[in-house]
Amino acid sequence: MPLSATDEIVDAAYSGTSGVGAFNTVQIEHAEAIVAGAETAGLPVILQISENTARYHGSLAPIGLASLALARGANVPVAVHLDHAVSADLVREAVELGFHSVMFDASKLPYDENVATTREITDYCHRANVWVEAELGEVGGKDGAHAPGVRTDPDEAVAFVEATAVDALAVAVGNSHALLTRDAVLDFELITRLRTAVGVPLVLHGSSGVDDADLAKAVTSGMTKVNVSTHLNKTCTRTVRRCLDAHPDTADPRKYLGPARAGVADEVARLLRLLAHN
C-alpha 2: how far from chain center? 21
- Catalytic residue, from 7, 83, 167, 214: name it: 83
153 Rama sector, left if φ>0, alpha if ψ -120 to 50, beta otherwise? beta
Classify residue 195 as exposed, middle or buried by CB count within 10 Å of its CB (0-12, 13-18, 19+).
buried
User: Which helix (H) or strand (E) segment is 134 a member of?
Assistant: strand 131-136
Q: What is the dihedral of CA 27, 64, 274, 43, to 10 degrees?
A: -120
Query: CA-based diameter of the chain, in Å?
Result: 59
- DSSP β-bridge partners for residue 102: 82, 132
* DSSP 8-class letter at 210: S
83 is catalytic: yes
- CA separation for the pair 197, 245 (Å, rounded): 51
Which residue numbers are catalytic? 83
